[in-house]
Structure 1
């Protein structure tokens, strides 16, 4: 599993494996956000299976599916709520990490300067420049 930190307490990753939850807990993560819709994945990666594995590792797990190109304000708000209520570092994942990084970026708008958000994305390997008008707006 490859995770990319956008902040010291938030990272994104491409699809994780069911056996990655123990390593995530050992790395200090306390919360995992699954942004990958069940319709996109094989049965072993579906949210009910991943939630079970997360619970066994002692991690908080949240299923917040984001269909490509359909990230809405309610999902951004829920993503932000999960981050704000977390008791420690959070990892969010989807197919490539881009949807998770985008949800984070939009949720940070107004609280962090747009350039800081864009730089965090770029440093993690995600080009979020298309979000600049929304982050500055």
Structure 2
């Protein structure tokens, strides 16, 4: 147990090196049918590439009550930054949490923050980053730590068009720790 806990931060940051290759899968993967502009992982969460300020009202219309920003400020200076999205979300009556994930990797506190964010809302969550991949991978780690079976995590992410292979080993480790 102590070794697993000590290795978690190291493993999470090493695994992220492969995340740039874990973009949304190609169109040959059957995506779950949805009318949403966001990719549905399950009834509680959807993921998205960078959202615009205009899309916040679209998210609210789809039942989103929480927006989770997994994109660090400055990654794309032309994109709306965290404060802009937060202000627009709050103006629309939505909760907002920033859990930025840089290309240097995931950390145990980020996984715990995602668990807390998901547990804090009774409605739907929309998590976004540049492509939706980091949001999906962070969701995967959070679900594994919360006890969801790795096969189910992989299936749900795959239905949304995302491959969890870069974090699959850590998903298995976190799920086994339950």
TM-score for the superposition, normalised by structure 1: 0.94
1:4/1:13 contact within 8 Å kept = yes
**Distance (Å, rounded) in 2 between the aligned partners of 1:53 and 1:44:** 14
Question: Which residue matches 1:22?
Answer: 57
Please report how far the alpha carbon of residue 132 of structure 1 lies from its aligned counterpart in structure 2 after TM superposition.
2.3
**Distance (Å, rounded) in 1 between the aligned partners of 2:144 and 2:96:** 24
2:130 to 62, 81, 95: 95
Structure with higher RCO (Cα < 8 A, 6+ apart): 2
Please report how far the alpha carbon of residue 36 of structure 1 lies from its aligned counterpart in structure 2 after TM superposition.
0.6
Structure 1 stretches of 4+ with a deviation exceeding 6 A read none
What SS does structure 2 have at the residue aligned with 1:45?
A: coil
- Is residue 86 from structure 1 mapped to residue 121 from structure 2 by the alignment? yes
Question: Which residue matches 2:22?
Answer: none
**Distance (Å, rounded) in 2 between the aligned partners of 1:69 and 1:114:** 24
Please report how far the alpha carbon of residue 43 of structure 1 lies from its aligned counterpart in structure 2 after TM superposition.
5.6
Question: Which residue matches 2:31?
Answer: none
1:54 to 83, 89, 102: 89
1:18/1:44 contact within 8 Å kept = no
Unaligned runs of 5+ in 1: none
Query: Considering only aligned residues, what root-mean-square deviation do their CA atoms show, in Å?
Result: 1.4
Question: Which residue matches 2:103?
Answer: 68
What SS does structure 2 have at the residue aligned with 1:109?
A: helix
What SS does structure 2 have at the residue aligned with 1:74?
A: helix
Unaligned runs of 5+ in 2: 1-35, 174-178
Question: Which residue matches 2:171?
Answer: 135
- Is residue 117 from structure 1 mapped to residue 118 from structure 2 by the alignment? no
Q: Paired residues, what number?
A: 137
What SS does structure 2 have at the residue aligned with 1:21?
A: helix
**Distance (Å, rounded) in 2 between the aligned partners of 1:49 and 1:134:** 33
2:99/2:110 contact within 8 Å kept = yes
Question: Which residue matches 1:32?
Answer: 67
What SS does structure 1 have at the residue aligned with 2:126?
A: strand
